[in-house]
């Protein structure tokens, strides 16, 4: 399904208005979920508070599995925002997509490589920043030449590879899911027979996409913490 | 300034999206920290402390209860011993008293028997003395009567018999 994207120029930057819309929608949904869940905080948690506390503990465990909590605690909020944002973003494209005048407006923001790579670069940049901040510049530079000095080129490549794989893995999974959903809905479901035939695979693929979306959100957060730990930890 | 792109295809990099995504993410992060996860983590921390406190308290209480039970047990043991001693004492005392009472009763009985015997002895002597006196006076009477009447031997014997008989009856 080839759709165009509604672009606009503003102050010399190119904006994909669909992305802008979906990023905003995702952020707002995440914020609303979080605020609704924490509106009536109590010592004895109920309902949504339980869920959000579970998320908090879940991210905490992800961080703890990579580094000790004393260093990792500062990434807690980052991990929480990442996992919730990416999960919601992944889910948004599943129920439907909106195409107006051949331009795709409603989709997962994570089905765009620009968005996912932005997140990936942000994460990697943060890992470098904290690597220097917590361990000092000397230790940070030494990381590129250990364990052997001639691994330096590989280390440089690794940084770019990390960034690319982190962003493109998310993009690829979500984009592929949406493409297939688009094919099932738009390509197969054209007459009565086609619609009936499309129902079961669509439902199955949507279920699978929910699974993939959740897994990708988890993987993104997990890898973020892995890269952070790699830069921040002392024994490397 | 806002010009909807006429070209449908991506014409190069959407640099604006990058900035917007970054900005939105940072805003979202800040908002979440301020309005959602900050308070949530606060309350989680509070609960953690609360639970730790409760556990500590419970442990303290448990310790106290244990100590109290120990004390109670010791007290119980002591009081049981005391009670045992008291009973023992009382029994001993009772035994002693019994002995004393029996001894006293025996002595009393002995004394009573003794006095009774003495009384009997005295009574008997009195009786004998009285009899003797009477016999003497009777003898005098008989003799006077005999003399008065000049009785036969048989009459005399008969008289004596009669008097003796009389005496026997009078006693």
What residues of B are in contact with residue A56 (Cβ under 8 Å)?
37, 40-41, 44
Structure tokens at A163: 């960034």
Per-residue pLDDT tens digits for A155-166: 889 889 989 998
**Confidence band (pLDDT; 50, 70, 90) for B5?**
very low
Q: Is the pLDDT of residue B8 over 70?
A: no
Quote the percentage of chain B above a pLDDT of 70: 90
Per-residue pLDDT tens digits for B69-107: 999 999 999 999 999 999 999 999 999 999 999 999 999
- Positive or negative, the CA dihedral A109, A111, A116, A117 is negative
What is the mean predicted confidence (pLDDT) over A126-142?
85
What is the mean predicted confidence (pLDDT) over A194-213?
84
Q: Which of A10, A21, A11, A16 is nearest to A114 (CA)?
A: A16
Question: Would you call B39 and A49 a contact, using CB atoms and an 8 Å cutoff?
Answer: no
Give the integer Cα–Cα distance in Å for B73 and A167: 71
Question: Would you call B35 and A34 a contact, using CB atoms and an 8 Å cutoff?
Answer: yes
Inter-residue contact A131 to A140 (CB < 8 Å): yes
What residues of A are in contact with residue B12 (Cβ under 8 Å)?
14
What residues of B are in contact with residue A89 (Cβ under 8 Å)?
none
Question: Would you call A10 and B1 a contact, using CB atoms and an 8 Å cutoff?
Answer: yes
- Please report whether residue B23 resides in a domain: no
Question: Would you call B24 and A24 a contact, using CB atoms and an 8 Å cutoff?
Answer: yes
- Please report whether residue B82 resides in a domain: yes
- Please report whether residue B71 resides in a domain: yes
Q: ipTM strictly over 0.90?
A: no
- Please report whether residue B124 resides in a domain: yes
**Element holding B3 (H helix, E strand):** strand B3-4
Q: What is the DSSP letter of A111?
A: G
Q: How far is B60 from chain A (nearest CA, A)?
A: 23
- Please report whether residue B6 resides in a domain: no
Q: Read out DSSP for B67-123?
A: HHHHHHHHHHHHHHHHHHHHHHHHHHHHHHHHHHHHHHHHHHHHHHHHHHHHHHHHH
The residue range of the domain holding B115 is 36-170
pLDDT for A235: 59
Question: Would you call A102 and B8 a contact, using CB atoms and an 8 Å cutoff?
Answer: yes
- Please report whether residue B1 resides in a domain: no
Residue A212 CB-half CA count within 13 A: 21
Q: Which of B64, B18, A125 is nearest to B56 (CA)?
A: B64
Chain A touched by B24 (CB under 8 Å): yes
Inter-residue contact A107 to A22 (CB < 8 Å): yes
- Please report whether residue B10 resides in a domain: no
Per-residue pLDDT tens digits for A5-52: 777 777 777 777 788 888 888 889 988 888 888 887 777 777 888 888
Question: Would you call A7 and B2 a contact, using CB atoms and an 8 Å cutoff?
Answer: no
Total domains present in chain B: 1
Chain A touched by B30 (CB under 8 Å): no
**Confidence band (pLDDT; 50, 70, 90) for B4?**
very low
pLDDT for A209: 87
Higher local confidence (pLDDT), B61 or A26: B61
pLDDT for B151: 64
What residues of B are in contact with residue A19 (Cβ under 8 Å)?
14, 17, 20-21
Q: Which of A6, A35, A43 sits opposite B4 (nearest CB)?
A: A6
Give the integer Cα–Cα distance in Å for A204 and B134: 153
The strand pair at A103-106 and A98-100 is best described as: antiparallel
pLDDT for B7: 37
- Please report whether residue B75 resides in a domain: yes
Question: Would you call A85 and B25 a contact, using CB atoms and an 8 Å cutoff?
Answer: yes
């Amino acid at each position: 399904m080839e759709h165009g994207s509604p672009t606009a120029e503003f102050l010399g930057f190119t904006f994909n208005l669909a992305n802008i819309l979906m990023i905003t929608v995702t952020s707002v949904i995440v914020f609303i979920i979080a605020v609704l869940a924490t509106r009536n905080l109590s010592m004895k948690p109920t309902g949504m508070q339980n869920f959000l506390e579970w998320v908090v503990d879940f991210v905490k465990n992800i961080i703890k599995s990579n580094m000790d909590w004393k260093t990792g605690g500062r990434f807690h909020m980052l991990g929480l925002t990442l996992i919730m944002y990416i999960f919601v973003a992944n889910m948004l494209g599943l129920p439907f997509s909106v195409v107006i005048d051949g331009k795709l407006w409603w989709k997962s923001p994570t089905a765009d490589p620009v968005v996912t790579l932005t997140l990936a670069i942000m994460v990697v940049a943060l890992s470098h920043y904290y690597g220097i901040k917590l361990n000092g510049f000397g230790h940070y530079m030494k990381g590129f030449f250990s364990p052997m000095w001639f691994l330096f080129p590989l280390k440089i490549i690794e940084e770019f590879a990390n960034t690319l794989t982190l962003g493109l893995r998310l993009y690829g999974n979500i984009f592929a899911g949406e493409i297939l959903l688009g094919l099932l809905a738009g390509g197969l479901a054209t007459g009565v027979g086609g619609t009936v035939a499309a129902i079961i695979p669509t439902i199955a693929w949507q279920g699978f996409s929910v699974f993939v979306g959740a897994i990708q959100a988890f993987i993104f957060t997990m890898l973020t913490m892995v890269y952070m730990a790699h830069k921040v930890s002392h024994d490397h | 300034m806002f010009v909807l792109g006429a070209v449908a295809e991506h014409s190069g990099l959407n640099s604006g999206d990058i900035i917007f995504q970054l900005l939105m993410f940072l805003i979202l992060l800040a908002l979440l920290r301020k309005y959602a996860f900050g308070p949530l983590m606060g309350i989680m921390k509070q609960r953690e402390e609360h639970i730790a406190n409760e556990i500590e308290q419970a442990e303290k209480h448990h310790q106290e209860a244990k100590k109290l039970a120990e004390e109670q047990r010791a007290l119980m043991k002591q009081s049981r011993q005391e009670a045992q001693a008291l009973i023992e004492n009382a029994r001993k005392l009772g035994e002693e008293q019994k002995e004393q009472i029996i001894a006293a009763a025996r002595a009393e009985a002995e004394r009573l028997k003794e006095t009774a015997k003495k009384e009997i002895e005295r009574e008997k002597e009195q009786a004998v003395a009285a009899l003797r006196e009477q016999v003497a006076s009777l003898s005098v009477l008989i003799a006077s009567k005999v003399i008065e009447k000049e009785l036969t031997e048989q009459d005399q014997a008969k008289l004596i018999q009669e008097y003796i008989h009389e005496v026997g009856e009078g006693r």
